[in-house]
Amino acid sequence: MERRRRSLSLMAAAAFLVVAAMPYPGEAATTPLRKDYYDKSCRNLEAIVREEVARKINGTVVTIPATLRLVFHDCMVGGCDAAVLIASKNNDAEKDAEDNESLAGDGFDTINRVKTAVERSCPGVVSCADIIQLAARDVVFLSKGPYWSVELGRRDSLVSRASDVKGKLPDPGMHVKELSPLFQRSGFSPDDMVALSGAHTVGFAHCKRFLKRLYNYSSSTPTDPSFNPDYAQQLKQACPPNVGETIAVNMDPVSPITFDNKYYTNLQYGLGLFTSDQVLYTDGATKGIVDKFAGSQKEFFDAFVAAMIKLGRLGVKTGNDGEIRKVCTAFNR
């Protein structure tokens, strides 16, 4: 499974280059996390993480979206505990769930490289769950996005089950009436939801995940009418009906490797790739938020940072509820 995932990631990377918080559910009333958690036990932690992340980005820009997605896929399923990193011989861990099969291998590789470097300096001190959070912040910052101080002190999970994933993550075909309850269950406001969706300003998506919008939208209208017609035509050229499983296109056709607010202006012009993207503008419940973020990158950045901090507090494990893994892909025992 891991070999297949890496192969898909490499092929997708080629296509990517070619085709242009008050307390809430899952968060304790008083979070046990602290920004200075490792100041004495691993003083150079952030510098180590930044250096490894930058080295990985220099090797492939796929590192940016792949690492960022890991935070969301980890935290929304059972909390921010690095359960998504576990490699199972039986293919029954979180990463093996159908909703996680699209996660690019470069994200996992980034975390594993960082963990190896951190262990050389601070063995047995820093959790994989905290490394995911730091690496995600750094890929955003290194792609010209906002910087924020990451709260730390998480421990790694002792379980990882594919069966826990179903129904916890948004689907590309969802509408706002389906997205909103999913995010609300984790304590996110509409502003949080739209801000987190802005992570799609970087990265790529496999054609198979949105083909229905291009060719089988309805019996009377083959192509989703909310698509900009010119954009739909470009996508059809890149993604024919019989497109291969590994072919992918940029989520943001304007600035695909820069973390900015172009995602929202794209939605205003019908350039949302997934249904779950474009409906944020076509639905009156969220249209105003899209307009706000399209009109001010600072508004978006501020909202994104606030939502990421909330996200990072979900289901935090401490003490005997978790461990500090020696390697991120396997439990200590």
Phi, psi of 204 (to 5 degrees): -140, 165
Percent of the residues in the chain that have a pLDDT greater than 70, as a whole number: 91
DSSP string, 280-311: HHHSHHHHHHHHHHHH-HHHHHHHHHHHHHHH
The yes-or-no verdict on residue 19 having pLDDT over 80 is no
**Rounded mean pLDDT, 240-263:** 95
Q: Which of 234, 293, 224 is nearest to 264 (CA)?
A: 293
Query: How distant is the alpha carbon of residue 5 from its chain centre?
Result: 16
Q: What kind of architecture, by CATH, is found in domain 176-312?
A: Orthogonal Bundle (1.10)
**Rounded mean pLDDT, 150-164:** 97
Binding residues for substrate: 170
Active site residue 73: yes
Gap between the Cα atoms of 52 and 24, Å rounded: 33
For residue 4, how many other CB atoms are within 10 A of its CB? 10
Answer whether 80's CB lies under 8 Å from 132's CB: yes
pTM: 0.90
When mean pLDDT is compared across 10-14, 31-35, 95-99, 313-317, the lowest value belongs to 10-14
Binding residues: 74, 77, 79, 81, 94, 170, 200-201, 252, 260
**Rg (Cα) of the chain, in Å, rounded?**
19
pLDDT score at 24: 38
**227-239 tens-digit pLDDT:** 999 999 999 999 9
CA torsion 211→281→194→84, rounded to 10°? -10
pLDDT score at 157: 97
pLDDT score at 319: 87
What residue type is 228 in one-letter code? N
**Rounded mean pLDDT, 29-37:** 81
**Rounded mean pLDDT, 155-173:** 96
Binding residues for heme b: 200
The yes-or-no verdict on residue 263 having pLDDT over 60 is yes
Confidence of residue 31 (pLDDT cuts 50, 70, 90): low
Please report, for the chain, the start and end positions of each structural domain, with discontinuous segments joined by +. Answer: 44-164, 176-312
**Rounded mean pLDDT, 83-112:** 95
Q: At what angle do helices 176-184 and 284-295 cross, to 10 degrees?
A: 80
Q: Which of 56, 73, 155, 213 is catalytic?
A: 73
The yes-or-no verdict on residue 28 having pLDDT over 60 is no
**178-224 tens-digit pLDDT:** 999 999 999 999 999 999 999 999 999 999 999 999 999 998 999 99
Q: Could you tell me the fold of the domain covering 44-164?
A: Peroxidase; domain 1 (1.10.520)
The yes-or-no verdict on residue 307 having pLDDT over 90 is yes
What residue type is 299 in one-letter code? E
What mean pLDDT, rounded, does the chain reach? 91
Binding residues for Ca(2+): 74, 77, 79, 81, 94, 201, 252, 260
